[in-house]
Amino acid sequence: METKKREPRGIMKPCRVSPEMQAFLGGVSEIPRTQALKEIWAHIKQHNLQDPEDKKVIICDEKLKRIFGGRHRVGFLEIAGLINPHFLK
């Protein structure tokens, strides 16, 4: 019996991204939303951008400001909403 691999759907499906998101991701033009979030979190952790007082708040560096609409601080629950416009239909 042959098992067919399912096509990724929804947030797992690679989508085209905006030029700002491409720059953040190092030139990748298509990426699944889940993978983009992983990359953003890796950047946050690597550069220690969580507020030490409140770990739920991200202090944006220049790279993050470009994809978060120029904001200096964002709550981690806002991230998914802020990256929405960067995924092109």
Q: CATH no. for residue 44?
A: 1.10.245.10
Q: 52-63 burial, b for 16+ CB within 10 Å, e for fewer?
A: eeeeeebebeee
pLDDT confidence of residue 72: 97
8 is a domain residue: no
5 is a domain residue: no
Q: 1: pLDDT confidence band, cut at 50, 70 and 90?
A: low
Q: What distance, in Å, lies between the first and last C-alpha atoms of the chain?
A: 36
2 is a domain residue: no
**For residue 54, what are the domain limits?**
13-88
Spell out the residues 6+ positions from residue 13 whose beta carbon is closer than 8 angstroms to its own. Answer: 7, 32
| 36-86 tens-digit pLDDT | 999 999 999 999 999 999 999 999 999 999 999 999 999 999 999 999 999
| 15-48 tens-digit pLDDT | 999 999 999 999 999 999 999 999 999 999 999 9
Residue 4 has pLDDT above 80, yes or no: no
Kindly report the number of other CB atoms within 10 A of residue 67's CB atom: 24
81 is a domain residue: yes
Please tell me the total count of domains within the chain: 1
